[in-house]
Amino acid sequence: MTQTPVTTFPADETLTDERARELGHELGLRRDEYDQVVEALGRVPTVSELGMYSVMWSEHCSYKSSKVHLRRLEATSPRILAGPGENAGVVDVGDGLAVAFKVESHNHPSFVEPYQGAATGVGGILRDIFTMGARPIAVMDSLRFGDPTVDGLGPRSRAFQRAIVDGVVRGVGGYGNCVGVPNIGGETVFDDRYATNPLVNVLAIGVMPVERLQLATAEQVGDVAILLGSSTGRDGIGGASVLASQEFDEGLEDKRPNVQVGDPFREKSLIECCLELYDRDLLAGIQDMGAAGIACSTAELASAASMGMDVDLDAVHLREPSMASWEILCSESQERMLALAHPDGVDEVLAVAARWDVPASVIGEVVAGDRLRLHRRGELVADLPARSLADEGPTYDRPRERPAWQDGYGIVVAEDLPIPGLADDGDLAGFVAKFLASPSLAAADWVHGQYDSWVRGGTVLGPGQGDAGVVRLPGSARGIACALDGNGRWCELDPAEGTRRVVAEAFRNVACVGATPIASTNCLNFGNPERPEIMWQLATSIEALGEATRTLGIPVTGGNVSLYNESRVGGSDDPRDTHIWPTPVIGVLGVIDDAAMAVGQAFVQEGDVVFLLGDETRPGLAGSALQAYLDLPLGGRLAPVDLDLEARLAVVLGEAARAGLLHSAHDISDGGLVAALADSAVLGDIGVQIVPTERKDPAQLLFSESPSRVLVTTPSDSVRELARLCADAEVPLADVGTVGGTTIDVQGLLTLSLEDVRDAHLRGVPTAVDPSLVTTATGEVVT
């Protein structure tokens, strides 16, 4: 390929084909991808162009490995106002209101620099939400770390893990608290599989009047491009591709300069500024700047409008004037947006920005045609078809192969476990108390006690108060509920069934608070897609995700894929040991007509009747928390979840909540019955007496994680009505006990003092993760 450039570029931008190919390779472009760039341009790329293509065509930006599979998630619903491909999904929730929500990962950056990685993860997903026109009203976080209770070597050392946990939690809180968006829940999981690759997934929710939805459809030739927000510096140059698409190795320190630094104070001003611009109808389009900042936002806005754009890089406010054009284009400096305004409105836009003290610069103009042309110091430095950069990147249907190790899981005997205290008439209560103190099962108060969950005055159920978070919408009695769930162990065991179960759980959690689930989002955290086994896990999981969300009527409105989540730091040669558990994290959104009727987890009143709604207890120790706690090899078979039963169960829970029949509802999941009882009893500060009605293996009764089961409590005068609702919906119910007393009692098996359980439950996490201090439940520091 020796075509000569059709335009002349400055000398420092011009490359020979050979040099460009070499540089492209270093930037992560494959040989055939480089050829595709040359074909799109009809010549050898300039330095700036090469930088832009390498970032935009990275896995992180282009979804090149997952795109062919994600198509299977497509779904339509009259409620969906914006679906996959937009910055966030948007659904109509009635009363003229629309809700935007999405979850995104910041896994790799959070390993490299936990505080800033997590903080900028929050900032990034919030920008996705307000880019759509919505005011952010809640965030949730799904965190997975290594196991801080065991002290291994290097990154597996306790100190290393604690530093990651500490930094990530401070980062999520530091950003969210300062930007003024309440955290309403999530999950915190500790598992050695995430020791060198923590998962930091953050979901954000926003609300807007339906008519404020910002879709890039109003653009016209002559519209002015305005860069709003922070100055552009060298943060995270190439970070998206370098940090998000390369496996980690030992050279962590070297990658630090690529870390972006967040400024939540600036983000808060930016939110208020953008919302005012929307309300005054001053914008024709807007795009947030994430990975590949200016390159990506200009290309996407131009491509979406099927137009071109001329951009003057000299107008960009820079932190360091010496920055090269490619650095300006690829910078990931945070808290920046690109807005398009009609020329007549530009002065007004700048005035609004000035009022909020948000720096703003006019940097370009929408032009006819399809070219994105970028200028620096009066000279053209890049000239390319916008669409080729934004939408025409490579896609791969990578080879898939069911891993040989799957067979091994099926032959493990998982359902008959030697539980200390059960088999030998020993101290079962002592064992259960210790089990409940394991950090993944213990109360996460230490985590969300560092997050503001009240700001903006809508929080009905905050973190840990219900199976889902519930926020009342401004100016309305209506509320939204949201749950965020994952379970890597289930999905490793069986990506299809595991994914179905996770979807069912998130769906069920939303139903438990009394809301009607209406839509879903997801964050797919997987290993290296170039390995056929991993690709098989991903494709299998996506297929199950599509099927389950369609069956349950919670269409996928968008999502995020995070690949290359693996590391060789562990030193094991076993192929199984180099990837994280495949971890699709599912967010389900629900609507509740009267938010004040939302049902929490806490037991409320002495004498309330405890019912088990839904399925009976089935063998459910495969992949369970108990299996992990006993340090047994992962294995067994997951009992299939009955999605039709889940749907009926949700109907009953919704109707019962609306009728005010329920005092509490909590599904049985991780840790089984004992964990569910402990959550509700500790939160309500009241005991419970369970009289099992099923003749089952005691281990299954106490610890099974089989799906479709919900514990509800109801005052005795509501029992008949609840029974009628269940009968109408053909949902089994069993009277299993009574709320009251100062013990958690499972007749014939177990008696635990509430005080012991509370202590175990509340101290489990801080004891495991707080490096030098133990903070008690009241915040007092024990030194």
Q: Which residues are catalytic?
A: 60, 106
Nearer to another protein, 275 or 757 (CB): 275
Sign of the alpha-carbon torsion through 13, 19, 25, 29: positive
> Beta 774-775 vs 781-782: how paired, if at all?
antiparallel
Nearer to another protein, 505 or 679 (CB): 679
> Beta 199-209 vs 97-105: how paired, if at all?
antiparallel
Nearer to another protein, 64 or 135 (CB): 135
Neighbours of 551 (CB within 10 A): 16
Tell the smallest beta-carbon distance from residue 483 to another protein (Å). Answer: 17
Tell the smallest beta-carbon distance from residue 470 to another protein (Å). Answer: 9
Nearer to another protein, 220 or 776 (CB): 776
Nearer to another protein, 571 or 779 (CB): 779
Nearer to another protein, 241 or 465 (CB): 465
Tell the smallest beta-carbon distance from residue 137 to another protein (Å). Answer: 11
Residues 125, 180: Cα–Cα separation, whole Å: 14
Residue 431: phi, psi to the nearest 5?
-65, -45
Nearer to another protein, 450 or 689 (CB): 450
Nearer to another protein, 76 or 778 (CB): 778
- Name the packing angle between helices 264-279 and 114-131 (round to 10°): 0
Residues 121, 204: Cα–Cα separation, whole Å: 11
Residues 506, 453: Cα–Cα separation, whole Å: 20
Tell the smallest beta-carbon distance from residue 451 to another protein (Å). Answer: 6
Nearer to another protein, 451 or 526 (CB): 451
Residues 533, 550: Cα–Cα separation, whole Å: 26
Element (H, E) at 175: helix 158-179
User: Measuring CA to CA, how many Å separate 683 from each of 464, 598, 677, 680, 773?
Assistant: 9, 16, 10, 5, 24
Neighbours of 742 (CB within 10 A): 12
Q: Specify the length of the chain in residues.
A: 783
Tell the smallest beta-carbon distance from residue 174 to another protein (Å). Answer: 8
Chain contacts with another protein (rule: CB under 8 A): 170, 173-174, 177-180, 263-266, 268-269, 356-357, 445, 448-462, 465, 472, 595-596, 771-773, 775, 778-781, 783
User: Measuring CA to CA, how many Å separate 742 from each of 662, 683, 758?
Assistant: 22, 13, 11
Element (H, E) at 581: none
Residues 339, 133: Cα–Cα separation, whole Å: 12
Tell the smallest beta-carbon distance from residue 169 to another protein (Å). Answer: 9
Tell the smallest beta-carbon distance from residue 184 to another protein (Å). Answer: 9
Which tokens is 541 given?
Answer: 């999981």
Beta strand ranges found along 650-777 (DSSP E): 664-667, 688-690, 709-714, 733-739, 743-746, 750-753, 774-775
Residues 351, 277: Cα–Cα separation, whole Å: 10
Residue by residue, DSSP assigns 245-269 as HS-B-S-HHHHGGG-----HHHHHH
Residue by residue, DSSP assigns 57-103 as TSHHHH-TTTHHHHGGG----TTEEE-TTSSSEEEEEETTEEEEEEE
Nearer to another protein, 459 or 680 (CB): 459
Nearer to another protein, 445 or 646 (CB): 445
Tell the smallest beta-carbon distance from residue 769 to another protein (Å). Answer: 12
Residue with tokens 């401004």: 474
Residues 730, 614: Cα–Cα separation, whole Å: 9
- The answer to whether the CB of 467 falls within 8 A of the CB of 483 is yes
Tell the smallest beta-carbon distance from residue 455 to another protein (Å). Answer: 5
In sequence order, the 6+-apart residues with CB closer than 8 A to the CB of 298 are 225, 309, 311, 338, 364, 372, 374, 386
Tell the smallest beta-carbon distance from residue 554 to another protein (Å). Answer: 25
Residues 561, 653: Cα–Cα separation, whole Å: 32
Tell the smallest beta-carbon distance from residue 478 to another protein (Å). Answer: 12
Exposure string over 676-691, b if 16+ CB within 10 A, otherwise e? bbbbbbbbbebbbbbe
